Structure 1
Amino acid sequence: MEQVEFRGGYPVAESAAASYDRSDLRRAVEAYRFFYPVVSMEGILRGTRAAGAVDNESAPLVVARPHHVGFTLNSDTPYLGGGLDLRESGPLVIELPAGPLVGLVDDHYHRWLVDLGLPGRNGPDGGRVLLLPPGYEGEVPAVSEGYEVVRADTWQVLVALRALPVGGDVAAANRLLASVGVYPLARKDDPPAFTVLSQDGKPMDTTPLAWEDNLEYWRVLHSVIGAEPPVDELRPMLGLLAELGISAGAPFAPDARGERILVEAARQGRDEMLVSAFASRRPDRTVWPDRTWEWVGLRPENGTFERPGSLDVEARDRWFAQAIVASPAMFRREKGVGSLYWLGLRDAAGAYLDGGRTYRLRVPLPVPHTLFWSVTVYDAATRSEVVADQDRAALRSLFDTLEPEGADHVDLYFGPVEPARSEGRWIQTVPDRGWFAYFRIYGPEEAAFDGSWRPGDFELQD
């Protein structure tokens, strides 16, 4: 590392200038990584609006397909999600029907506020969640009125819901999502309709991919910082941003030197986060010692990445580099609770998965689930469903024949050309593009945790 030159105890001007460059770059890289979830959240909010959604009034409904660009979205369940503006609405009610809904509310800083549906307070019975805006001091309905009251630190929040298609009935799941209510508390006696916008066959991009390695990243982040109240727990990092010329109430106007440093920090920060995601050195990432499968979420205790005494910044980086939203329900490693996520990005020999090669994945049967399971393939560069001529990225036990009667295993195939022996259980990949997979189990049973059941590794076939 270059040393600062001193004369008579004082830094030499040229050396001091170089020190400032190094210091600002270091600060900018750390700020990039810390605030990446914020910019990712803004990507979700802007993407839903671009698809026609209006905050507080409507939200897209989508069963994810390759033309829907979103970090590790899946095709297993229909999604409903969009922005809510508490500055405009005041106290806002989310009213859920009874049924198999799974969801959450995250704030503008991508922090978890409350679980909805099955993992929430009322489970499958539905109910009403009341979101209070920052600093709200008005009347709050009594507990006896049945509201779960949640206070937000930001004006803008995201509501995200999935409906489990029981028995493969996607139409019923869509109807359930369409019956969700969102309305101001002041209009509870005459609530306005909340409109569901079908995105079937329509493209949608809810990622920050267009910004994540250039100056626009910082411009987007500046817009969020300027639109939201300061949050006490973020004060040190907001101070770091201020040193870089990014603060609320001031224009974003870096000079040529500042632009150069911020662009380099965006490139370096993005690359470092992808290393955390795909080349982790954490020993706790490994699910089983004799397999290459990894845990996607490294903190099963909560949805805030907290550990005793500190924030697990590496686990946080790893998650948000490849996924969106976080809650305790998403990370729990408990039988029968929620869903389980495993990451497969290497073959049995430890090499990264190559879109130009063919692989077999052997899955022992029965898979230990109470609901269903799936394997979804993602492009390593976009962290979104792989785009190929097949126009398909997932094999799902609800919709595909993945559990042949009487069989003790099923073989799944992945590669650029369908093998003759695949029996349709094949996902097409693209040469010269790396890919990874998520193995999901919905309603996992004990065997998924105690090691008595485990899938094979991806085995190279050519």
Structure 2
Amino acid sequence: MIRLPAISSIAFAIAMGPAFGEVSSAELDAISIPDKVETAIGTLEFFDGVPTDATVATIYDNLDRMRGMQVFLDNIGAVSMYAVRTGLADAGAKGANRIALFADLMDSQTLVVTANTSTLYAYTYTDLAKDGPTVIEVPPGMLGFLNDGWQRFVGNMGVTGPDAGKGGKYLVVPPGYTGDIPDGYFLLTPSTNRNFMFLRGSIAKGLEPAVKNITANLKVYPLKDAANPAETAFENVSNKAFNTVFPSDYSYFEILDRIVQEEPIAAIGPEARGAIAAIGIVKGKPFAPDDRMKKLLTEAATLANATARAITYHPRIDGVRIYPDNPKSVWSTAFANKNTSFEADGAVNRDARALYYFNAGGVTPAMATSSPGQGSDYALALLDANQQAFDGAKTYKLHLPKDVPVKDFWALTMYDTQTRSQLQTSQSFPTIGSQTEGMTQNADGSYDVYFAPEAPEGKEGNWLQTVPGKSWFTILRMYGPLEPWIDQSWRPGEIELVK
């Protein structure tokens, strides 16, 4: 008996004629295309389903542009990490054992997405392809983590890590490493060679002892040199103007190509690698787009930039609004649903991933876990109480009810809507909070904070400066948040327009 290949019942009926039943016009329309179609990308023309040469060119332009846009949005984490690494190198912190230390805290000269002025940061990058297994000796009392080259969480260090804040030795091994693992180390196994180390020191007892704790005890060196490691150096990158924010033009894709070339092929899966390859970025091959493709990728970067901003200011995904029971509240979180992997129910939430990586850097589950009196928690106000963009020429007011629920302190920091970095004004540290000298409370213990180009009379200690002609946004940080913050029985007011 001869077996025929299976075909659909509709196709079979068309092939065999009326004896097998008539096919309706609606069914034919569903499986065909008219000779001329008006679309968002222009008029498309066909001869009985076969596209004309002009239509083929239009379709491929659209396909390449769309693929470039999606590659941009899906790989912000990687390109952002690369931009941080090169920015630190420009500031003098180049090499795994040369630590970038903000020894005088971070002011607004440095462009780092949504970094703050209240934390002692220490950064470095491993280069496992060059150095092999690398040791990180973490001082006591630190908060920290390691992210891989795509800014994916590898492991915690310090208070939230296996050393539990007592300090300890961590060993970071290259992808596919099969050598011996000596005793006495906490093991970290990233999927990339270039990995970002983020450490944060508490300044509760003062900045000077916190800096000394890091410079005296933090050490980074190759395991092969453990018997006689080179001295770890520290580059004070405070008070320096340098950029760690990734670009949103054609050069974005050039950076992504460098990342793909320097990292193992297994660093990302076949689906992600195939999407990147579809726009011409392939490991082991030169990235050499022609003028047509460069133009399309430039357009893709512009559209992706715009898309990330739309997702930021008007997200349509669940879990971003902190107070969803109040539709007028604009306070939001950078981690939708407090999910730091961006994965749930077997799927990646691409909008949630783009939202975070476009506006922040560094990922650890500890950032999305609130324990009374421990760590910190953040709330973003990206729009005013009327759901409008903040206008730097106008005056706004935020009311914080009495008994702000923090064990340590609270702080508000201002950001530039273009760079997502600290807003550059005459206030070099654009932050105000419960530790601010001159900050006053109302008679009932509440606070009023003002945002304006000039301080309202008598409110100089409660004022953050804005810039006419620019917008801005702010982040409220709660250090050691207490139960009323976590259970939402205490809530900040909305930021209201005064005049």
Q: Distance in 2 between matches of 1:402 and 1:316?
A: 37
User: What is the aligned counterpart of 1:78 among 100, 120, 123?
Assistant: 120
Give the match for residue 274 of structure 2: 239
Instruction: Specify whether residues 185 and 217 from structure 1 end up closer, same or farther in structure 2 by C-alpha distance, changes over 3 A only.
Output: same
User: How far apart are 1:244 and its partner, in Å?
Assistant: 1.2
User: What is the aligned counterpart of 2:240 among 193, 202, 225?
Assistant: 202
Question: TM-score with structure 1 length normalisation?
Answer: 0.94
Q: Residue deviations 1:24-43, cap 9 Å, x none?
A: 11111111100111111110
Q: Residue deviations 1:38-69, cap 9 Å, x none?
A: 11111000000001112122122111111011
Give the match for residue 299 of structure 2: 264
Q: Distance in 2 between matches of 1:54 and 1:350?
A: 43
| Stretch of structure 1 that moved more, 264-273 or 338-347 | 338-347
Q: How does 1:293-304 map to 2 (within 5 A)?
A: 293-301=331-339, 303-304=340-341
The question of 1:68 aligning with 2:129 is answered no
Q: How does 1:296-445 map to 2 (within 5 A)?
A: 296-301=334-339, 303-400=340-437, 402=439, 404=441, 407-445=444-482
Unaligned runs of 5+ in 1: none
Equivalenced residues, count = 453
Give the match for residue 156 of structure 1: 194
Give the match for residue 18 of structure 1: 58
User: How far apart are 1:229 and its partner, in Å?
Assistant: 0.6
User: What is the aligned counterpart of 2:251 among 216, 236, 245?
Assistant: 216
User: What is the aligned counterpart of 1:31 among 65, 71, 76?
Assistant: 71
Q: Which amino acid aligns with 1:47?
A: G
Q: Which amino acid aligns with 1:58?
A: R
Asked if the contact 1:377–1:394 (Cα under 8 Å) also holds between the matched residues in 2, the reply is: yes
User: How far apart are 1:257 and its partner, in Å?
Assistant: 0.9
Q: Residue deviations 1:332-357, cap 9 Å, x none?
A: 24434421111102222222211111
Asked if the contact 2:115–2:421 (Cα under 8 Å) also holds between the matched residues in 1, the reply is: yes
| Stretch of structure 1 that moved more, 250-259 or 67-76 | 250-259
The question of 1:87 aligning with 2:96 is answered no
User: What is the aligned counterpart of 1:108 among 132, 146, 149?
Assistant: 149
Q: Residue deviations 1:299-329, cap 9 Å, x none?
A: 324x321112111111111111111111101
Asked if the contact 1:299–1:315 (Cα under 8 Å) also holds between the matched residues in 2, the reply is: no
The question of 1:456 aligning with 2:478 is answered no
SS in 2 for 1:398: coil
Unaligned runs of 5+ in 2: 1-38
The question of 1:51 aligning with 2:91 is answered yes
Question: TM-score with structure 2 length normalisation?
Answer: 0.87
User: How far apart are 1:78 and its partner, in Å?
Assistant: 1.3
Percentage identity across paired residues of the two chains: 31
Q: Distance in 1 between matches of 2:101 and 2:430?
A: 19
Q: Distance in 2 between matches of 1:296 and 1:240?
A: 26
User: How far apart are 1:371 and its partner, in Å?
Assistant: 2.1
Q: Distance in 1 between matches of 2:264 and 2:334?
A: 32
Greater Cα radius of gyration, structure 1 or 2: 2
| Stretch of structure 1 that moved more, 133-142 or 332-341 | 332-341
Q: Distance in 2 between matches of 1:430 and 1:396?
A: 20
The question of 1:139 aligning with 2:166 is answered no
Q: Which amino acid aligns with 1:156?
A: R
Q: Distance in 1 between matches of 2:54 and 2:283?
A: 32
User: How far apart are 1:233 and its partner, in Å?
Assistant: 4.4
Q: Residue deviations 1:120-168, cap 9 Å, x none?
A: 12222111111001111110123xx2x111112111111111111114x
Give the match for residue 230 of structure 2: 192
The question of 1:255 aligning with 2:297 is answered no
CA RMSD of aligned residues (A): 1.8
Instruction: Specify whether residues 114 and 401 from structure 1 end up closer, same or farther in structure 2 by C-alpha distance, changes over 3 A only.
Output: farther
Instruction: Specify whether residues 402 and 315 from structure 1 end up closer, same or farther in structure 2 by C-alpha distance, changes over 3 A only.
Output: farther
SS in 1 for 2:336: coil
Q: Distance in 1 between matches of 2:48 and 2:394?
A: 63
User: How far apart are 1:92 and its partner, in Å?
Assistant: 0.7
